């Protein structure tokens, strides 16, 4: 029995979704493996977003509003609550959408990998005398994972009176997989024409195995490019940015020394005086320049690593989602290398005039 809090959250979560949205959302979550729509979770996430907005309001905005008049405070508070809450909700939705897409992608890949072995078992069942519907049901074994679950649903629909081709078509339409769609469409067309299904499935299995071998061969052939990109992104780029930060510190140090020496020597001739003033301004703003450039370097290293990880993903897997695991690996490694290299180079050149 649901608790009152769960019931309230589920009721509140349903308010955000009009009736016409609920069926598409349910179908989308079915792709990710969720049988029901978690409206209570949606309601909870909304209150979490409100809590985060409340904390941000008192931490960031309230201290800055004390010097303004009451009308200004009211307008600023209202705008902050509207836009900040919408921004946090948008981030939560985008995060959930990204996670669900990864889960759907993983499910599709698992089904594609299990498909040749499953179809081979279907062929064996057909040759043993079973009809096609019985072969599908009998071959849906637990070792085939998600594919077994989906085929079991197809078999149940067939048993309840649905057409076999329609049930299979509904299954392949649910997932954005060219491999499933192409191969099952061949099987459906053979079912409708009344031909030799076993022979067609054997041809499909052979095609799947050749495709798998070609993908593995292509992945092995681009390994050198992947290593080359990884070395540049994880090692060379962070070290070069660290060296640039160190050289900037050396330049600021020399500017400070030169401005002090020229100023104390009493030189006031035209160009020398102008040079002294420029050196002083440059050295005085040195800390802010170094801090800004270091922040820029962190962002640049992270962005380069992020984009490079996506490039590696496309090279190896042929799509972005297949290599998402490279994103944290490349980004975190590059930032760590930059931080360590910056500390080492700063310590190594400490004897020079660092600002």
pLDDT by position in tens, the chain (length 355): 457 787 877 777 787 777 888 888 887 887 887 778 788 888 888 888 888 888 888 888 777 777 777 787 788 888 888 888 889 888 888 888 888 888 888 888 888 888 888 888 888 888 888 887 788 888 888 888 888 888 888 888 888 877 888 888 888 888 877 888 888 888 888 777 776 778 888 888 888 888 877 777 776 777 777 888 888 998 999 999 999 988 888 877 776 766 665 555 544 444 555 555 665 665 566 667 778 888 999 999 999 988 888 888 777 766 666 667 778 888 899 999 999 999 898 888 776 654 4
CA separation for the pair 144, 146 (Å, rounded):
6
Q: Which pLDDT belongs to residue 97?
A: 84
What is the per-residue pLDDT for 281?
64
| Per-residue pLDDT at 323 | 67
Three-class DSSP category at 201:
helix
Q: Note the pLDDT of residue 340.
A: 93
The DSSP secondary structure of 86-130, one letter per residue, reads: HHHHHHHHHHHHHHHHHHHHHHHHHHHHHHHHHHHHHHHHHHTT-
Residues in CB range of 93: below 8 A, 6 or more apart: none
Quick one: pLDDT at residue 1?
A: 44
**In this structure, what token pair is assigned to residue 283?**
């050295």
Decide if 191 contacts 164 (C-beta within 8 A): yes
Residues 6 or more apart from 97 whose CB is under 8 A from it?
none
**Is there a contact between 267 and 273 (Cβ–Cβ < 8 Å)?**
yes
The pLDDT of residue 336 is 93
pLDDT of residue 300: 92
What is the reported pLDDT for 58?
Answer: 83
Do the beta carbons of residue 335 and residue 238 sit within 8 Å? yes
Q: Residue ranges of the domains in the chain?
A: 4-106, 114-214, 222-348
What is 114-214's CATH topology? Receptor-associated Protein (1.20.81)
CA–CA separation, 247 and 153 (whole Å) = 65
Residue 351 has a pLDDT of 63
The pTM for the full model equals 0.65
Angle of helix 286-317 relative to helix 223-231, nearest 10 degrees?
170
């Amino acid at each position: 029995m649901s608790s009152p809090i769960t019931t309230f959250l589920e009721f509140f979560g349903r308010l955000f979704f009009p009736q016409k949205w609920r069926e598409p959302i349910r179908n989308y979550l079915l792709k990710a493996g969720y049988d029901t729509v978690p409206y209570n979770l949606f309601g909870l996430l909304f209150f979490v977003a409100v809590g985060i907005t409340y904390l941000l309001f008192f931490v960031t905005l309230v201290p800055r509003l004390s010097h303004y008049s009451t009308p200004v405070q009211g307008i600023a508070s209202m705008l902050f609550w509207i836009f900040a809450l919408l921004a946090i909700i948008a981030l939560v939705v985008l995060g959930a959408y990204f996670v669900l897409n990864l889960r759907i992608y993983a499910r599709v890949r698992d089904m594609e990998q299990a498909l040749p072995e499953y179809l081979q078992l279907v062929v064996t069942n057909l040759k043993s005398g079973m009809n096609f519907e019985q072969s599908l049901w009998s071959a849906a074994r637990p070792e085939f994972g998600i594919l077994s679950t989906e085929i079991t649903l197809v078999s149940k629909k067939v048993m309840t009176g649905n057409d076999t081709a329609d049930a299979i078509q509904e299954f392949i339409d649910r997932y954005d997989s060219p491999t499933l769609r192409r191969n099952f469409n061949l099987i459906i067309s053979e079912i409708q024409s009344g031909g030799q299904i076993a022979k067609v499935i054997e041809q499909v299995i052979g095609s799947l195995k050749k495709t798998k071998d070609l993908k593995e061969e292509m992945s092995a052939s681009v390994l050198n490019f992947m290593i080359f990109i990884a070395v540049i992104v994880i090692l060379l780029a962070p070290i070069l940015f660290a060296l640039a930060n160190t050289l900037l510190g050396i330049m600021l140090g020399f500017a400070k020394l030169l401005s002090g020496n020229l100023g104390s020597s009493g030189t006031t001739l035209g160009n020398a005086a102008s040079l002294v003033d420029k050196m002083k301004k440059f050295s005085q703003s040195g800390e802010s320049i170094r801090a800004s450039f270091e922040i820029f370097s962190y962002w640049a290293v992270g962005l380069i690593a992020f984009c490079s990880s996506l490039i590696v993903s496309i090279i190896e897997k042929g799509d972005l989602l297949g290599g998402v695991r490279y994103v944290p690996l490349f980004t975190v490694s590059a930032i760590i290398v930059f931080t360590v290299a910056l500390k080492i180079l700063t310590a190594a050149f400490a004897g020079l005039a660092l600002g």
